Structure 1
């Protein structure tokens, strides 16, 4: 019987604090994606305009 009470207390505690346990991982995951996106966006090379009839070099 005491185990049932403990289980309810621990279960309620974990449910209420679940976001605290997950927050660092969520922040790390989305933080990395945001950083990569911003870095790629900032360091993106500017497109070079192609003149009419000019051929791009074949690589």
Structure 2
């Protein structure tokens, strides 16, 4: 469980001090096109039995 939380914390969780980036990832380019924003699809993946939630853009 601790290893899974460490992966989540360092690779996915947004950190305010890093401009909403995870420590081991770069900040993604912002989406500024209104059409892309309205058609945005987000996927949720539960981790650690639903204690943690990972969100990502669906292709």
TM-score by length of 1: 0.23
> Of Structure 1 and Structure 2, which has the larger fraction of its residues in helix?
1
> Of Structure 1 and Structure 2, which has the larger fraction of its residues in strand?
2
Q: Whose RCO is larger (CA < 8 A, sep 6+)?
A: 2
